[in-house]
Amino acid sequence: TTPPPTTPPPTDPPPTGDLPRHLLTGYWHNFDNPAVELRLRDVPNEYDLVAVAFAEATSTPGALTFGVDAGLSAALGGYTDADFTNDVRTLHSRGKRVILSVGGETGRVTVNNAASATAFADTAAALIARYGFDGIDIDLENGLNPAYMAQALRALRAKVGSSLIIAMAPQTIDMQNPAGGYFKLALDIKDILTVVNTQFYNSGAMLGCDQNAAYSQGTVNFIVALACIQLEAGLRPDQVGLGLPAGAGAAGGGIVAPSVVNAALDCLARGTNCGSFRPPRTYPGIRGAMTWSVNWDVSNGNTFARTVAPHLDTLP
Active site amino acids: 141
Per DSSP, 42 falls in state G
Residue 32: helix, strand or coil by DSSP?
Answer: coil
35 and 293 Cβ atoms separated by less than 8 Å:
yes
Q: What's the CA gap between 185 and 220, in Å, rounded?
A: 27
Q: What's the CA gap between 171 and 183, in Å, rounded?
A: 10
255 and 296 Cβ atoms separated by less than 8 Å:
no
Burial 2-25 (b: 16+ CB within 10 A, else e): eebeebeeeeeebbbeebeebbbb
Q: Determine the number of helices (DSSP H) and then strands (DSSP E) in the chain.
A: 9, 11
Q: What's the CA gap between 198 and 202, in Å, rounded?
A: 11
Count CB neighbours of 39 within 10 A.
16
Per DSSP, 273 falls in state S
Count CB neighbours of 89 within 10 A.
12
Strand 97-104 to strand 135-140: parallel, antiparallel, or no bridges (unpaired)? parallel
229 and 208 Cβ atoms separated by less than 8 Å:
yes
Q: What's the CA gap between 142 and 107, in Å, rounded?
A: 8
Query: Phi and psi for 52 in degrees, rounded to 5?
Result: -85, 120
